[in-house]
Structure 1
Amino acid sequence: MTDIEVLLIGGRSGVGKTTVALETSVLLREAGVPHCLIEGDLLDHVHPAPPDDPSRTRITRRNLAALWANYAELGTRRLIYTNTVAILEPDLIRQALSAAAPPRLVNVLLTATDATARRRLGGRERGSELDIHLRRSAAAARRLEAEAPPGTVRVPTDRRTVRAVAEDVLTATGWTR
């Protein structure tokens, strides 16, 4: 049995992954639950991609492993990890954490309608990047819905407060102390 637990928050662009993860962290802090938060979308933000790693999977794994090693050294045993496809990459997570026993993974897929994602992305992206992000977001939503592993908890974000969504996400983990 492992004592490492990972909350994987996935979802299309514009669904609110980072915002919800930060609020989930607030709820955990308020409850006195030790944890750390890693924003996975920043772990592979390099251009150009490494020649031997065009999908940036290895650099993501290496960066996650380095960050986790620092947190684990402090005694941290619970990780909130956000990335669009986090729920589809359990092997990457397990390899990066390299624990003696496999970590317990809790998969949460945040969902939003195309209209909600468009509104949120429109407030964040400008110029030619908006259309690119809208197309990628829609494609990611379809892929995540089709490929989400069994047991994935789906949490809608449309017309809900960040706090309410984070409370649902936290409920999925069972982390109370």
Structure 2
Amino acid sequence: MHTDVILIGGRSGVGKSSVAAEASHLLGLADVRHAVIEGDNLDQAHPPPWRSGIPLAERNLAAMWANYREAGYSRLIFTNTVSVLQVAGLAAALGGEVRSTAVLLTSTDAVAAERLAKREIGTALEEHVTRSVAAARRLDEGAPDAVRIATNGRGLADIARDVLTQAEWI
């Protein structure tokens, strides 16, 4: 069975999880069978396993997707900050024939900082904002083939429809 995957990447505060949830909702309304996996949760541990060279996220993705595939799913929305930089590795983890659409969500530094301020509490906010700025630059430079979709001043449904249209799912 082949897999169609939309890899949604982008800086912290750009709206990856919210856009994925809205895209899932729109697909559900159209009765399109699909799954959503939040990649940030696949290796959330301290110390980070990837710093030691342990590909825990890829292993966990492979295990989870095998279960979804066994249940008859062939479409996946996957979110992770750097997913657009790891297309080949993520496709390999999914196994088999994979058609991927890499989508880089973008926003200005100010908009991302404003969004982060609404969700981060305590002393971590400044660290998240600083990392978000650095990630935006790295992602923009490192993912030249990703489809870029701006999120500033746009509603979730509009952004999600753009993502699904780029992947030719709707």
TM > 0.5 fold call = yes
Q: Is the 8 A contact 1:49 1:56 kept in 2?
A: no
Aligned to 1:153: 147
Q: Which runs of 5+ in 1 are unaligned?
A: none
Residue 107 of structure 1, aligned match among 102, 114, 134: 102
Runs of 4+ in 1 over 3 A off after TM superposition: none
Aligned to 1:37: 36
Aligned to 1:18: 17
Q: Is the 8 A contact 1:10 1:84 kept in 2?
A: yes
When residues 163 and 57 of structure 1 are mapped into structure 2, their CA distance, relative to the original with a 3 A threshold, is farther
**How many Å separate the matches in 1 of 2:166 and 2:72?**
23
- Taking structure 2 as the reference length, the TM-score comes to 0.95
Q: Is the 8 A contact 1:44 1:56 kept in 2?
A: no
**How many Å separate the matches in 1 of 2:60 and 2:2?**
22
1:114-153 to 2 correspondences below 5 Å: 114-150=109-145, 152-153=146-147
- Taking structure 1 as the reference length, the TM-score comes to 0.91
Aligned to 1:76: 73
Are 1:163 and 2:157 matched, yes or no?
yes
When residues 111 and 56 of structure 1 are mapped into structure 2, their CA distance, relative to the original with a 3 A threshold, is farther
Q: Residue type of the partner of 2:80? A: N
Q: What's the CA shift string for 1:4-36, capped at 9, x where partnerless?
A: 111000000000000000000011111111110
SS at match of 1:54: helix
Q: Is the 8 A contact 2:35 2:68 kept in 1?
A: yes
Quote how far apart the aligned CAs of 1:55 are.
5.4
Aligned to 2:57: 60
When residues 162 and 126 of structure 1 are mapped into structure 2, their CA distance, relative to the original with a 3 A threshold, is same
How high is the sequence identity, in percent, across the aligned residues?
A: 51
CA-based RMSD: 1.4
Q: Which runs of 5+ in 2 are unaligned?
A: none
Quote how far apart the aligned CAs of 1:48 are.
2.1
**How many Å separate the matches in 2 of 1:47 and 1:60?**
14
What is the aligned length?
A: 170
